[in-house]
Amino acid sequence: MTYDTNNIFAKILRKEIPCIKVYEDEHTLAFMDIMPQAEGHTLVIPKEAAITIHDLSDDSAANLIIKVKLVAAAVKKGLNADGITLFQLNGEQAGQTVPHIHFHILPGSYLTAKAHAKINADTDSLEAIAEKIRKGF
């Protein structure tokens, strides 16, 4: 499958679509999921164009997991979460809804989370949660 440069995350990276950012560096962007499964649901994406982990360069994959660890710690601290769920889906058949590799960070348990990509959250409430996470860095 060829990378779709018009997927929503590619548009976010080009700043064509806004996001509620919690972290960014030259290789990585972390932002609030607009259809959160739990309060504080955060996405971490590489800036490299790749659909799945198998398409990602080794250097970008290594950097991505380091940044997932960093952002997950900020989510945990900023939201005073007892635990964190991390997951990453590869391909439509696995449930991947955006064809750009990304990690999900959920405070708490995935087992008690809402369904994936079903209900949009209020932007103001997402911004308030993002501010708590930013304070976790």
Locate the domains of the chain by residue range.
8-134
Q: Is 100 a catalytic residue?
A: no
**pLDDT tier at 114 (50, 70, 90 boundaries)?**
confident
Q: Give the homologous superfamily in CATH for domain 8-134.
A: HIT-like (3.30.428.10)
Question: For the whole model, what pTM was predicted?
Answer: 0.93
**Per the residue annotation, which of 41, 54, 100, 102 is the catalytic one?**
102
On the question of pLDDT at 46 being above 90, the answer is yes
Q: Taking the mean position of all CA atoms in its chain, how far away is CA 90?
A: 14
Residue 120 in 3-state DSSP? coil
Spatial CA neighbour of 74 closest among 32, 22, 128: 22
In the predicted model, what is the mean pLDDT of residues 101-117? 83
Residues 6 or more apart from 49 whose CB is under 8 A from it?
3, 5, 10, 100
65-99 pLDDT, tens digit each? 999 999 999 999 999 999 999 999 999 999 999 99
